[in-house]
Structure formats: C-alpha cells, structure tokens
Amino acid sequence: MGFCSAACCKLSRRVKYLFLLLLPLSVLAWICLFSGGSVKSFTVFSAATQALIKKENTQDLANLGTSVAVRLMTPTPRTECPKKSPLLQGAVKLNFEPSLKVKDVEGENKRVVEGRYQPLSCTARQSVAILIPHRNRERHLLYLLHHLHPFLQRQQLHYAVYVIQQAGDATFNRAKLLNVGYLEALKDYTWDCFIFHDVDLVPENDRNLYVCDSQPKHLVVGRNATGYKLHYKGYFGGVSAMSREQFGKVNGFANTYWGWGGEDDDLRIRVELQKMKIVRPPADIARYTMVFHKRDSGNEVNKDRMKLLRRTPLVWKKDGLNSCKYQILSVERLPLYINVTVDLGKP
C-alpha cells in the first residue's frame, strides 16, 4: 500500500466527519422549513428587531449548550405566549426617585433595543405601540419609562415606545401629536394596538393589560388625584387603547383641538358614532399614580372646546388622520424610545 491509499484513507475520514457535521444541520434545516413560524418571523421585522431576535435565540440556545454552528443556523421555534402571563405581579410599589438618571433606566432595560422589545421565550399575542405626547416633561418621562418598560415586559408583549415631541412653542396639541404617532409608528411596523399615554400617569397594577380588545378600552378608571374614582362618566382621557382598525375607522383624533381639553371627549364621540362601546378594566386594577404637576404654559384651557364638540358628528370624516398635516423634524432611535420631533404648525 503506497502513498495513494494513505491519502485516500485520510480523505475518506474527512468525508465521514463532514457527513457527520452536515447530517444534524440538514435535519435542523428541514425542521425549520416545515415548522415555518419562527423562520417567517425573521422576515417581517426591521433590522433592529432582527438583531434583537438573533440576540434572543442565541441566548436561548447558548443556555442549552448548543454548538456555535447550530446556533447561527436555527432560530428557536416559538409558541404563542400564554393568555395570562406568568410574570404578572399585580399591584406594585412605585417609586419616584429624584436622583434617577437616564443611564439607570437604560441599565435596567438591556433587552430593550431602540425602544422596542419582544419576549424571550414565546411569541407575543399582540404588537403594541405606546404613543406618548410630549413637550418639556423630561422628569415625568423618565419616571414613566422606569416603570413602563418592566411592566410591559411582565405582560409578555411585543412593544415599542414612541415619544412624540411637539417642536416650538405654539399652543400644545395632544390629539394631533397622537395622530402623528399613529401614522409614523405604522411606517416601522404594522402594530395591532395603540396605547395613547399621558406622560405623567404611571400604572400601579400590571394586570391592567396594555392590549386591545374588540372594543376601544379606557385604562384609567382611577388615579390618586381623583380619589381613584372615574373622573366623570364617559371620560376617555389619560390612557386609552384602540386597535389599528378601530382608530382608523374613527379617522383618529381631531387635529383642531389646540390647548387643554376636549380632544378626548371628541374621540369618545367618534367611537360612539361608529357604534363602538368603551370598555374598562375593573376599578381595583385600572389604577394610576399621576406625578403632580401644574398647568403647563402653552397648554392653556381651550375655550372653544364645547363648540368644537358640537360639530364633531359633522366634521369627523374630514378632520382626522386623513387631514393630518405635519412636518417631521427628526426621528431618533434612542435606547429606551423612538423620539419623533414634529412641527405641527399653528392653530
């Protein structure tokens, strides 16, 4: 036996090793192809979320001690998250520490990427965009993010937080900012559900689920400032949840409410005109702490609000999402939220 047979022997050993390596890989590839879901989920997300999913899968597989090659090839198959998250804690103690810094909140939320998160071990039942109208309330925003990120993660949601900043010092327009938030967030992803969220209201109980129902949902039954009683019958302000379809159907908020008040009642009228019914979670769950504040300058009471509310049934079809004119000045993808700065124009 000469040179050739030694080389052949070496070669055949190599082929054997290659075969042994390829066999499990191809089996895994076939499983992926036929199980479908997890592979598909790779294609519908933006680059940022893909990075997040990769990070999750890597972590999951690393925990199982799987080899690097397999880790790179196969996304973890995911099942739908349970109807009731096992992570819920109920009423939690809130803290508003004046020394809290952005860096602290970023450090607490390492798994939030560019304001966006999805559960590690299962596929969220809903994808939810949290829209926060904002100007000049940085401290409130930090307190809210500090509580809201872990709160939403315990609910096992796929979510993103959008802060919509009104540029300039023209009169504040909460409703129009929320319309902008809805339209801009949909450019990132086809969110199922939208939560319209005042910056100063912090939820006290994580059983108050930030998901959409078959009807529009009002989440603030009570708050500390009103003795935890509903503000008034029909109140639809503070924090509310509408699905993409529900909000589209009512043509969003009116754009024409400048200054404080009326825009939330206008939305309720729109909802009722569509024969939808506002639902609320139980009062012992839908509880909020409002961070104390005075009236902001630039958001004075809108004296025309009653007049505007009377014409809602006549104008809702042409004042809303379909007539929302604005100019985006910047979209910054910060670690904890997507910061959309917008010029809304003037009253």
Is 264 among the residues that bind Mn ion (CB under 5 A)? no
Binding site partner of 259, from Mn ion, ligand UDH, none, Cβ cut-off 5-8 A by kind = none
Binding-residue pattern over the window 175 to 214 for Mn ion, x denoting contact by CB under 5 A? -------------------------x--------------
137 makes contact with ligand UDH (CB under 6 A):
yes
Supply the minimum distance, in Å, between the C-beta of residue 172 and ligand UDH: 4
- Residue 265 annotated as catalytic: no
* C-alpha span between 94 and 97 (Å, rounded): 10
263 near Mn ion, judged by CB under 5 A: no
Q: How far is the CB of 295 from Mn ion (least distance, A)?
A: 9
Consecutive H or E run containing 71: helix 68-73
The residue among 76 and 136 lying less far from ligand UDH, judged by its C-beta, is: 136
199 lies in the site for ligand UDH, by CB under 6 A = yes
181 interacts with ligand UDH by CB under 6 A: no
Q: How far apart are CA 173 and CA 317, in angstroms?
A: 19
**295 tagged catalytic:** yes
134 carries an active-site annotation: no
Q: Which of 83, 187, 294, 310 binds ligand UDH (CB under 6 A)?
A: 294
d(CA 240, CA 210): 9
Crossing angle of helices 305-315 and 263-273, in 10° steps, is: 30
Q: Residues 139 to 178: which contact ligand UDH by CB under 6 A?
A: 172, 174
Structure tokens at 130: 């949290």
Nearest to 155 by CA among 80, 85, 64: 85
Stretch that binds ligand UDH, among 55-63, 96-104, 109-117, 192-200 (CB under 6 A): 192-200
What is the C-alpha to C-alpha distance for residues 286 and 320, in angstroms, rounded to an integer? 28
Among the listed residues 243, 309, 306, the one whose alpha carbon sits nearest the alpha carbon of residue 276: 243
CA distance 128 to 158: 6
Which candidate in 293, 306, 311, 343 is catalytic? 293
Catalytic residue among 260, 276, 280, 300: 260
CA dist 44 → 49, 114, 185, 227 (Å): 9, 17, 15, 44
Residue of 106, 272, 290, 300 marked catalytic = 290
Q: Say what the alpha-carbon torsion angle 82, 186, 189, 142 is, to the nearest 10 degrees.
A: -70
What DSSP character marks residue 40? Answer: H
Q: Which residues are catalytic?
A: 198, 200, 260, 263-264, 290, 293, 295
In the complex, which residues of this chain contact ligand UDH (CB under 6 A)?
133-137, 172, 174, 198-200, 260, 294-296, 298-299
